[in-house]
Amino acid sequence: MLRTCGRRLAVLVLLWHCMPPLPSPAAETCSAIRTSYNPTAALRSDAFTLAPDDPRWSAFLAWAKAKKLYTFQIIGLSQKKDAPPSILFRWAKDTLWQKDVVLPFGQALGHMIAERRWRDADFPEFFSSRGGIFGVDLAERLSGMDTQTLDPWQDFFQSVTAPKSPARPRLNARLLSVAPDGQSASIALGQDRITIYLADRLRSDLALFLTDCAIAEFFQEYDKSKEATPGERPETTAEGSAPGKAIYTSQCSGCHGEAGDGQGMLTLSWLPRPRNFVRGSFRYRSTPTGSPPTNTDLFRTVSKGLAGSGMPAFEAILSERERRDVVAYIKQFSQRFASGSEPPSTSVSAPPQVTKKHIARGASLYVDSGCPSCHGAEGRGDGRSGQDLKTAEGDPIIPRDLTHKWSFHGGHTPSDIYRRIANGMDGSSMAAYEEVLEPNDLWDLVFYVLSLSPEQRPQAEAGHRAENK
């Protein structure tokens, strides 16, 4: 009796293993399904075409929320041979629509920095034993540990995704509520951060893992719920293949926008906004005021990032060839680069030896040049005139706090600061002083500015989330 039951159980197990998987929304088996959305053709199994201007859109978001489609979790770093590094996300976990999606590193960083606003202080269990906590954004902190490799990122994700890690709840996200017109929704990011996504952003996310075929159930339920009218599916257009375009689209467009206008979906709440490449006005240059940057300037920014801002360093993410291709593609957005010739870089003279006398003279030049009106008498960025400053795009400007050199976007080496003062920062209220001050004067001013910051970067307490100064 027992032997017979055992043999039957073995046969059932064997048959179970040989059976094809049960059908699911992801099985893409809906060629015969016709709805008001696809009255004459099969639902597409290779694309998600439902758009926010479709009358079904708001109903679809409500359906997606009920089905828990719009939930996702950060799984970790993905590094595959012959492929650029990326971040793995798991969408619609524990549903029939569950799918793992890899996002290009740049887009994923934009999400973590611009929307989740992750800082090293959010992960004290990881950073406390790795040099301390400084209250800076995650990308800047990890890049500062090693600019050449992604080892710090690998260690970070292994730590925070560990089964007993206290950071695991921070990795989740879910749709909280949808506006009545479906054109925006509240998204919970982790335990304590809520952001608003507009419809285009919601659709972009859903298109990562859904197809029209996968949501056939929704189209059928929609038709049953009301008198549906036939509609047509939007057509998709083919992408171009210009060198650098694919990299820009995958790594940069989330912040800088598909059109290079600084209107990326990941940074709609940022002020000032990400750089508008169409204007062709760049602040961090080695060239005189009013001049476009050199290829080397742009390559340095892409490679090293801008400390204290949302612009990460791509040196460990993209190859040198890929970074140069991105630079070439960025230049195509603006007519300022049409001539193809580069302006000369401002020469930086050899600095004199730093002495108390030079610093004292720099302090006098700081006052005489009108710097306190914006940067404040003590360099804390609290000058009265600086309260009403705006960028060329009309965004408010917060003058730099000079007592925290680690927040200087263009770097804080003496040469970096010399160029900022000499060349100014186009598109902002920071004037160029190359024609006003002699090289020795500029160096004295540099020495004074550097003297305002402590020798070592101040550390922040665990849990401190204040923005960079």
- Average pLDDT, stretch 17-32? 54
Domain extents in the chain: 48-210, 245-337, 356-451
Token match 């906004």: residue? Answer: 273
| Residue 462 in this model has a pLDDT that exceeds 80 | no
Q: Which amino acid is at 72?
A: F
Under CATH, what is the fold of the domain 245-337?
A: Cytochrome Bc1 Complex; Chain D, domain 2 (1.10.760)
pLDDT, the chain, mean: 86
Cα 138–chain centre separation:
11
Minimum mean pLDDT range among 77-86, 222-231, 375-384, 448-457 = 222-231
| Residue 252 in this model has a pLDDT that exceeds 90 | yes
- Average pLDDT, stretch 440-458? 95
* 245-337 and 356-451 have identical folds: yes
* Higher per-residue confidence, 27 vs 425: 425
> To 10 degrees, what angle do helices 57-66 and 199-206 make?
60
| % of the chain beyond a pLDDT of 90 | 66
| Residue 6 in this model has a pLDDT that exceeds 50 | no
287-305 pLDDT, tens digit per residue, is: 998 899 999 999 999 999 9
| Residue 279 in this model has a pLDDT that exceeds 70 | yes
Domain 356-451: which CATH number of 1.20.120.790, 3.40.190.80, 3.20.20.70, 1.10.760.10: 1.10.760.10
How many CB atoms are located within 10 Å of the residue 371 CB?
A: 21
pLDDT the model gives residue 28: 54
| % of the chain beyond a pLDDT of 70 | 88
- Average pLDDT, stretch 275-286? 91
pTM of the model as a whole? 0.73
Q: How confident is the model at residue 13 (pLDDT cuts 50, 70, 90)?
A: very low
pLDDT the model gives residue 268: 75
Check whether the bond before 399 is cis (ω within 30° of 0). Answer: no
pLDDT the model gives residue 232: 43
- Average pLDDT, stretch 321-345? 91
349-385 pLDDT, tens digit per residue, is: 899 999 999 999 999 999 999 999 999 999 999 998 8
* Higher per-residue confidence, 242 vs 333: 333
132-167 pLDDT, tens digit per residue, is: 999 999 999 998 899 889 999 999 999 999 999 999
How many CB atoms are located within 10 Å of the residue 264 CB?
A: 23
pLDDT the model gives residue 427: 84
- Average pLDDT, stretch 10-37? 57
pLDDT the model gives residue 226: 66
